């Protein structure tokens, strides 16, 4: 099988490359951003026509944490919408028979029932801090659904919960909470500082999935003969941001004080996926949050030492 992984330099794409390295029957088609600009429709169509993959996983996206999403909504909507449109339409035009599109748990309404089943999509208003990203991802998953319905191609989508792992972004303003906290605690410990500031009130609840578990779930879904059109990928359990903060501090070995900056947004109060559809099919996440954070702190230090840390 010739498999195109769109976005293989990103955290998710790189995890997919690691996962498929174990599959001898799979040849990966990979293009860096310099080689193929996914926002350029003509370039994407030319790539598909020439490379002719048997399947594609669309892991390319402009992503960021709560503040980046809130500050750059036009970029988050435009880039993600165009990437989704080009990657799906180009695949369809070139006769690619199978495609897995990756979205995000923020596609569900802000006040969705918890845990959130796939069926609550488009039943209420979105969380304002990430509405732009969510609208683009909803358009992408609907494109997959409609190409499958109208044209009979096997295009389907997976919605991962908040992800973390090797190759994450560690920018203090623009990253997600878990990498931001790892960096803040590491730098405070190294500099001997007594205090670290975390954002918001610490009361929102979030679910975190290690990116290697997501890659395994993608490989599982891509093997199904008749995959669900839309499926949640998570662990099925969540923690408060305060609990996460304490866990990260413990893993890093920071023993000072944690101060909460309530001028920063909390975002959606809770975002726990209902993973019964996926567990019913026989897939479960392997890594606990404590194991995953310990592994990620190790890769953070390795990336820092190698000069490859992003952000």
Q: What's the closest the beta carbon of residue 65 comes to ligand GFB, in angstroms?
A: 3
For residue 58, give the 3-state DSSP assignment.
Answer: strand
Q: With beta carbons less than 8 A apart as the criterion, state whether 198 and 247 touch.
A: no
β-pairing, 205-206 with 270-271?
A: parallel
- Identified binder of ligand GFB from the candidate list 6, 56, 91, 106, rule CB under 6 A: 106
Q: With beta carbons less than 8 A apart as the criterion, state whether 232 and 159 touch.
A: yes
β-pairing, 205-206 with 195-199?
A: unpaired
Question: Is 162 a residue that touches ligand GFB (CB under 6 A)?
Answer: yes
Question: Is 273 a residue that touches ligand GFB (CB under 6 A)?
Answer: no
Q: With beta carbons less than 8 A apart as the criterion, state whether 158 and 144 touch.
A: no
- Name the residue number minimizing CB distance to ligand GFB: 65
- Closest to 128 (Cα-Cα) out of 52, 76, 196, 54: 76
Binding mask 216-255 for ligand GFB (x = CB under 6 A): -------------------------x--------------
Question: Is 103 a residue that touches ligand GFB (CB under 6 A)?
Answer: no
Segment 170 to 189, residues that bind ligand GFB, using CB under 6 A: 175-177, 180-181
Q: Is 204 exposed, middle or buried (0-12, 13-18, 19+ CB in 10 A)?
A: buried
Question: Is 80 a residue that touches ligand GFB (CB under 6 A)?
Answer: no
- Identified binder of ligand GFB from the candidate list 20, 47, 133, 170, rule CB under 6 A: 133
Question: Is 198 a residue that touches ligand GFB (CB under 6 A)?
Answer: yes
H helix and E strand count, the chain: 10, 13
d(CA 68, CA 83): 19
Q: Tokens 């567990």 correspond to what residue?
A: 279
| Choices 38-46, 200-208, 229-237, 288-296; region in contact with ligand GFB by CB under 6 A | 200-208
Question: Is 210 a residue that touches ligand GFB (CB under 6 A)?
Answer: no
Question: Is 69 a residue that touches ligand GFB (CB under 6 A)?
Answer: yes
133 is catalytic: yes
Q: Which of 48, 92, 108, 133 is catalytic?
A: 133
Tokens standing for residue 66 = 């709560």
Active site residues: 133
Q: Report the interface residues with ligand GFB, using CB under 6 A.
A: 65-66, 69, 104, 106, 129-130, 133, 162, 175-177, 180-181, 198-200, 204, 206, 241, 264-267
């Amino acid at each position: 099988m010739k498999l195109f992984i769109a976005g293989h330099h990103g955290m998710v794409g790189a995890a997919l490359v690691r996962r498929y390295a174990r599959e001898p029957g799979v040849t990966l088609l990979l293009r860096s951003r310099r080689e193929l600009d996914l926002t350029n429709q003509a370039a994407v169509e030319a790539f598909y026509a020439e490379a002719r993959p048997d399947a594609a996983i669309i892991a390319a996206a402009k992503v960021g944490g709560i503040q980046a999403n809130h500050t750059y909504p036009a970029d988050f909507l435009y880039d993600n919408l165009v990437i989704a449109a080009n990657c799906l339409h180009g695949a369809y035009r070139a006769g690619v028979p199978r495609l897995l599109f990756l979205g995000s748990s923020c596609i569900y309404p802000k006040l969705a029932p918890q845990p959130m089943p796939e069926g609550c999509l488009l039943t209420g208003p979105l969380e304002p801090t990430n509405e732009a990203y969510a609208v683009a991802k909803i358009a992408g998953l609907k494109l997959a659904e409609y190409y499958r319905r109208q044209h009979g191609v096997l295009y389907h989508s997976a919605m991962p919960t908040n992800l973390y792992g090797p190759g994450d972004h560690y920018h203090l303003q623009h990253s997600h909470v878990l990498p931001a906290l790892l960096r803040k605690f590491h730098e405070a410990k190294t500099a001997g500082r007594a205090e670290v500031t975390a954002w918001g009130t610490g009361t929102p609840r979030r679910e975190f999935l290690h990116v290697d578990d997501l890659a395994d779930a993608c490989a599982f879904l891509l093997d199904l003969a008749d995959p669900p059109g839309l499926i949640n990928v998570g662990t099925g359990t969540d923690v408060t941001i305060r609990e996460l903060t304490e866990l990260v501090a413990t893993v890093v070995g920071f023993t000072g004080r944690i101060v909460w900056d309530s001028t920063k947004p909390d975002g959606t109060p809770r975002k726990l996926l209902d993973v019964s559809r996926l567990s019913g099919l026989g897939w479960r996440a392997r890594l606990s949050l404590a194991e995953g954070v310990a592994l990620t702190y190790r890769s953070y230090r390795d990336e820092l030492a190698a000069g490859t840390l992003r952000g």
